[in-house]
Amino acid sequence: MSAHTEYVRQVHQHCSPFWGEFSEELHWTKGPPENHLENFSVLKFSPSKEQNLFTYVTCGLSEDDEKEPIECFLLSPFPDASLCELLTIVAWYHRRRVSLGWGHTVNFGRPWLPESSCDHGLFSTPYLDGPELEWLDRGSSRMQFLWLIPITAAEREFKKKQGLESLESRFESAGFNYADPNRKSVI
């Protein structure tokens, strides 16, 4: 069994109490080979009785030697293969450019889903599933699972100026529907 296969098993075992069995392990292999990531995949979980959304979970976002390893997940109201590409780009950026973590934002460079105004992502606490999902104890280290919430450019700018807590307060007071790709900005 390869190290990545064992890692996929650990991530799946950690996530399955929340989302059930994953339906697919996805790999993005388009584009130049030098941009492909080794030991990286995305697990796709189909809707369940508890949650009516598709969940895409990174598997190998952080490399083995990172001090504060993370994985992230993205929710979608429908299946979309381009979400594997989006998460692969985020992983590439994390591994090769800037170490990402809680409270950080990323520019997706395109809408999260077709025709959405959400073209950025916010690494947030997995509020819907709680601390049991957020932390995976791996013996000598802990891994943090973060919710990658699609946001608009205006929301990102507001967060940069006013802080994460202010943005999350705006989400809460606006009745923010995180799963609606056509939602309006709360700013």
3-class DSSP state of 146:
strand
> Position 24: which residue type?
E
Tens-digit pLDDT string for the chain (187 aa): 677 788 888 889 999 999 998 899 999 988 887 778 889 999 999 998 878 999 999 999 988 777 889 999 999 999 999 999 999 999 999 999 999 999 999 999 999 999 999 999 999 999 988 889 999 887 777 889 999 999 999 999 999 999 999 999 999 999 999 999 999 999 9
User: 18-43 burial by CB neighbour count: b if 16+ within 10 A, else e?
Assistant: bbbebeeebebeeeeeeeebeebbbb
Q: Where are the domains of the chain?
A: 3-173
Strands in 14-141 per DSSP E: 22-26, 41-45, 54-59, 70-76, 105-107, 120-124, 135-137
Side-chain-facing half-sphere of 72: CA atoms under 13 Å: 30
What whole-number distance in Å separates Cα of residue 34 and Cα of residue 25? Answer: 21
